[in-house]
Chain A
């Protein structure tokens, strides 16, 4: 009985209420795993890892100059989200994305929210993701953030929070799809006995979201996915998504602006591209308009885009919403544009450019998490309680030197899920990144990517920092009389 020794401890455990008492939705899973020996469970884990490696589901590590690929470590014990909770999360995510989209459209056009003083003007204008050249832009349907991956976490008491929004090029959805594929072969009986929401329609939904951007008059539109190339850490995903939706996978060097259109070099000459799902950050996408040292983008693209001759997802300029200072104002946006209360709360956030709040942050560095407002991926942050005095000193100096550049939040105690570590099951901290598509309607893929911190006690779940992933099961109902192999 593998779970006999498992103790959820003083944490919110996603599978257990308390030691020996699984949550209702997790009961069958626990029963199934308990029927296995440690050797069997490890064999399955190994089989899954091998399958992923053979499929080439790998990522590249930036700091590793060998250019070696690694498989994103995968744990066989899934994370379960009860159906009723998911319904609530889905509603909250739709609300948030709708409001953020209104916000982005507004600040690049009428700037009502700034003129009404709801958000200070300098907050937006000083955000590195705010792109002046995008002023006046009206993308098709006024939709800017077509694809979002929003990071959610749960605190010790079980409360859900939104940790951050990723509106430029969120990655990871390919792992959701591939993880599910291998899990279905690992635990087929559980999938039969439990009503687990399917994730497979993501590709169709993504394609529809992209096709929604072309005028109906255009027959046979051409969709392309723009990747920085094979050495990018998320290359597998770019290629996987292009394959799943039947799009061309292009690099900057395949593209050229000619006769006012975006075109790609083919064996039969230049051919037009109508929709581009770009997986390159704003800064790099057009060396004429933004970073001139970029080799990844297409010179002149912005002009074609502004003229409405190519649609780009996500729209250029959405990075402003990824800024962690902008994040702090999302509740105000929801109130302003929708006249609603925020459904899923933000993590309480201290704004370091406010003198009072800064003083509080500096006095409590040993309790807070400090984050650079323009960074992501677990880079540029200080986890106060785990940091050394020196590191805290250094961050304090950084905050004083550049208050706009930092926010601080209480250190949340992330919820945990049992995970196979060494020769037993241990609770490991997780977050959850659901993927949201904004096309004709807003669609949320059920579940999302559960990232797990595989280092004992660690709160950092990013793949670049030793994190792994788990399959996420949104469980609507469970057949209590299911026959499972013993």
Chain B
């Protein structure tokens, strides 16, 4: 498969997944605020902090008001990680590999883009409560269409790799949002408000029902464990890493537990560390520090994939 094509399929999936996750973590905040008692200060800045793009935000908007942040994350065409920009990039990538992906995939990503573009043209922040669920559903549709219509060969595995690495990264960031929101009010731990917040967090990762089935009571420890090291829930970090590693092995032709490329090694090592990780260790190190480090490691995996498969130079 052409390196450029593999690269495009990988990024097309990353961008769709990224758009979905931006919708998720903005949505969770919107929901949290609805439940917040009157008089409690609105927490919007943490959203920008978790994206890692606060500098850009400050340059473009200055004040961290709810409207500014919502606009920045959803409809800002100049900000490369906004939902509209992600979709534009996903579509551009899809357009450059239309002959490789199925027509249905193209149609879905095109329709998705047109939907978001229309919303961005209207730019109504008041409609966002309806918009975010639409974005999530469109992203699921895309993933489902890809799974059901594209041959599960090399290109498909590159797509999976992109989607799963992006999801692992973003589940980490969604957890981090909670960390920032909690930070000013450590005394709230265990209060009904705290409980609501954890529920909202689970819901933002579509994890609430599955969590209840696995362990009834909602505790901070249980939630972090569920979203980081659960092996069966499809948005948990470890689940993503296991699946991503399987796709990577299909691509590089090595068996699990062995490696040939640097990406095999980086991803395999990270996955096996999480295999033996306990949630106590995470708490001991500090959740935020753990997630920070995880993001760095995931970025390294991404860089290695680029070097091993996409950046081929002739001898």
> Would B314 and A258 count as touching, CB distance under 8 A?
yes
Segment of A76-84, A263-271, A435-443 in the binding face: A263-271
CA A264 to CA B100, docked complex, whole Å: 16
A243–B99 CB distance below 8 A: yes
Contact B99 A265 (CB under 8 A): no
Interface of A is mostly: mixed
Binds B, one of A110-118, A207-215, A247-255: A247-255
Binds A, one of B103-111, B168-176, B223-231: B103-111
A322 to B258, CA, bound (A): 58
Q: Which residues of A contact B99 (CB under 8 A)?
A: 225, 239-240, 242-243, 247, 249
Binds A, one of B90-98, B121-129, B273-281: B90-98
Greatest chain A CB density within 10 A among B99, B310, B314 is at B99
CB-based contact A250/B98 at 8 Å: no
Whether A235 contacts B95 by the Cβ 8 Å rule is yes
Residues of B within 8 A of A198 (CB): none
- Cross-chain contact A270 with B154 (CB below 8 angstroms): no
- Which residues of chain B are within 8 angstroms of A264 by Cβ–Cβ distance? 2
Contact A253 B4 (CB under 8 A): yes
Give the chain B neighbours of A236 by CB distance below 8 A: 98
Please tell me if the beta carbons of B309 and A267 are within 8 angstroms of each other in the complex: yes
Identity of the chain B residue whose Cβ is nearest the Cβ of A236 in the assembled complex = B98
Q: Distance in Å from the Cβ of A40 to the closest Cβ of chain B?
A: 26
For the complex, is A136 an interface residue (Cβ under 8 Å from B)? no
**Chain A residue at minimal CB-CB distance from B308:** A267
Which residue from A225, A243, A256 sits with its C-beta under 8 Å from B314? A256
Contact indicator A254/B107 (Cβ below 8 Å): no
A254 and B4 form a contact (CB under 8 A): yes
Interface string of A268-287 (1 = CB under 8 A from B): 11100000000000000000
Determine if A265 and B312 form an interchain contact, defined as CB atoms under 8 angstroms apart: yes
Nearest CB on B from A352, distance (A): 43
Q: Are A267 and B6 in contact (CB under 8 A)?
A: yes
- B250 to nearest A CB, angstroms? 12
**In-complex Cβ contact of A258 among B98, B309, B310, B315 (8 A):** B315
Q: Taking the complex as formed, is B49 at the interface, i.e. its CB lies under 8 A from any CB of chain A?
A: no
Residue-wise, chain A 402-422 has the 8 Å CB interface mask toward B (1 for contact) of 000000000000000000000
- Per the bound structure, the CA–CA distance linking A269 and B6 in Å amounts to 13
A248 to B98, CA, bound (A): 11
Residue in A225, A229, A240, A266 whose CB lies within 8 Å of B3: A266
B window 174-193: CB within 8 A of A: none
Q: A441: shortest Cβ distance to chain B, in Å?
A: 27
In the assembled complex, which residues on chain B have CB atoms less than 8 Å from the CB atom of A243? 98-100, 103
- Given known contacts A54-B111, A55-B107, A265-B314, A250 and B2 CB-to-CB distance under 8 angstroms: yes
At the interface, yes or no: B1 with Cβ under 8 Å from chain A? yes
Residues of A within 8 A of B69 (CB): none
Q: Which residues of A contact B145 (CB under 8 A)?
A: none
Q: Inside 8 A of A266's CB, which chain B residues have their CB?
A: 1-3, 312
Min Cβ gap B258→A in Å is 18
In Å, the complex CA distance between A225 and B314 comes to: 21
Distance of A259 Cα from B103 Cα, bound (Å): 36
A5 interface residue (CB < 8 Å to B): no
Interface 0/1 of B211-253, CB less than 8 Å to A: 0000000000000000000000000000000000000000100
Pick the most buried of B5, B6, B111: most chain A CB atoms within 10 A of its CB.
Answer: B5
Minimum Cβ distance to chain A for residue B104 (Å): 11
Bound form: Cα–Cα A56–B112 in Å: 13
Residues of A within 8 A of B158 (CB): 267
Task: Tell me whether A267 and B98 are in contact (CB under 8 A).
Answer: no
Contact, CB under 8 Å: A54 / B107: yes
Report the separation of the CA atoms of residues A235 and B97 in the bound assembly, to the nearest whole angstrom: 11
Contact B92 A230 (CB under 8 A): yes
Contacts of B251 in A (CB 8 A): 267
How would residues 75 to 106 of chain B score, 1 for a CB under 8 Å from any chain A CB and 0 otherwise?
00000000000000000100111111001001
Inside 8 A of B96's CB, which chain A residues have their CB?
A: 229-230, 239
Q: Is the CB of A267 within 8 A of B110?
A: no
Besides A56-B98, A269-B312, 9 other A-B contacts (C-beta < 8 A)? A54-B110, A229-B96, A236-B98, A247-B99, A254-B4, A266-B312, A267-B6, A267-B310, A267-B312
- Write 30 A-B pairs (CB below 8 A) sorted by A numbering: A55-B107, A56-B95, A56-B106, A229-B96, A230-B96, A236-B98, A240-B99, A242-B99, A243-B99, A247-B99, A248-B5, A249-B97, A249-B100, A251-B4, A254-B2, A254-B4, A258-B314, A264-B2, A266-B1, A266-B2, A266-B3, A266-B312, A267-B6, A267-B158, A267-B251, A267-B309, A267-B310, A267-B312, A268-B1, A270-B312
